[in-house]
Amino acid sequence: MIFEGGFEPRREPAEHASANAMAIMKDEPRSGCPIAATLDIVGDRWTLVILRDLFIGKKRYSDFLASPERITTNILASRLDRIARAGLASRKAYQTRSRRYEYELTDKGRDLLPILQAMSRWGNKHYPETFTPPASFMKARR
Amino acid sequence: MIFEGGFEPRREPAEHASANAMAIMKDEPRSGCPIAATLDIVGDRWTLVILRDLFIGKKRYSDFLASPERITTNILASRLDRIARAGLASRKAYQTRSRRYEYELTDKGRDLLPILQAMSRWGNKHYPETFTPPASFMKARR
DNA sequence: CGCTGTAACTTGCGCATTGCAAGTAACAAG
DNA sequence: CTTGTTACTTGCAATGCGCAAGTTACAGCG
């Protein structure tokens, strides 16, 4: 019992329109908690994996597709769209009259690095069979 | 382009049985990446919210139910079961011949704190309308 | 001991999402 | 102009989510 009290705002019972309808990528947060707000953006199995790939330098759709987790094409397309719309990465056309884009982290996206680093530490500690990320990744600040 | 190379293990194409069938709470990880392994455990919108509540001292089903996000009962029951089975919290009966339990963080669960802290920082920075957690939470080490 | 309230779920259903596999569209290269 | 490549979209079956109602087991009270 470490952090009793002081963590959640007072919220009148009458106010709790269903938070669940306020889902990922919806405008209205399900609470005023920064953790919940973050999870509304990145709380699924794939978004932070794609962000990881952006951190290690991947840019194109086929780069993400080739990652060892083998994401499927419809989920990748859907997630890249959400990531761009959430401002975590920008889309840059790379052909002349393009419908092909490269993705690049924004400042908002780069600020997710401590989360990825913390997950790496937790994952390595509790699942020792996972690989150890490069020291440069673990030490980076952005 | 920060961490080129060195992040993912070599994985032969023939090896990529669909990682997607190896979902949350399944035995087989979808890759050797510690981030992906962590997300296989906590990569949904509710698990880390419940872990947050455990950190702030909540123990019982009705405690979690009363959180501002208004999780629904079937999802809560399902997540508490997964959290216990993943070893992130222990179940303790609190009645004599019980079918009622309190939940308490394990060491494995407590080690998730840096992830919650990092999410809090990110959420506060990019969603200023979210509340600021108590300094004790942000400074705690476990 | 019986009744009632409470807490902790389970159930059924409709809707949404996931993921597989196949298909489509647009661009560049030859 | 044709072909290969890349980046998706589509349809469908399976699974998960979430609403609302219902069930179960325990404690407390008279």
How far is A61 from chain B, CA to nearest CA, in Å?
16
Tens of pLDDT along B55-104? 999 999 999 999 999 999 999 999 999 999 999 999 999 888 788 899 99
Does the domain at residues A29-139 carry the CATH identifier 3.10.520.10?
no
How far is B37 from chain A, CA to nearest CA, in Å?
6
Per-residue tens of pLDDT for chain A, all 142 residues: 356 556 766 443 334 445 554 544 455 788 999 999 999 999 999 999 999 999 999 999 999 999 999 999 999 999 999 999 999 999 999 888 788 889 999 999 999 999 999 999 999 999 999 999 999 999 998 7
Specify the pLDDT at position A74.
95
Specify the pLDDT at position A99.
83
Residue B81 · residue B110 · CB < 8 Å: no
B128 touching A (Cβ < 8 Å): no
Instruction: Break chain A into its structural domains and give their ranges.
Output: 29-139
Specify the pLDDT at position B111.
96
Helix, strand, coil percentages, rounded to 5, for chain B: 45, 10, 45
Q: One-letter amino acid identity for A70?
A: R
In chain A, which among 56-75 make CB contacts under 8 A with chain B?
A: 56-57, 67-72
Q: Is the pLDDT of residue B14 over 90?
A: no
Report the CATH fold assignment for B31-139.
Arc Repressor Mutant, subunit A (1.10.10)
Specify the pLDDT at position A11.
42
d(CA A130, CA A113): 19
Among A3, A41, A35, smallest CA distance to A22 is for A41
Q: Is the pLDDT of residue B46 over 80?
A: yes
Residue of B nearest to A50 (CA): B36
Instruction: Give, in order, the Cα–Cα distances in Å from B53 to each of A23, B9, B110.
Output: 20, 36, 12
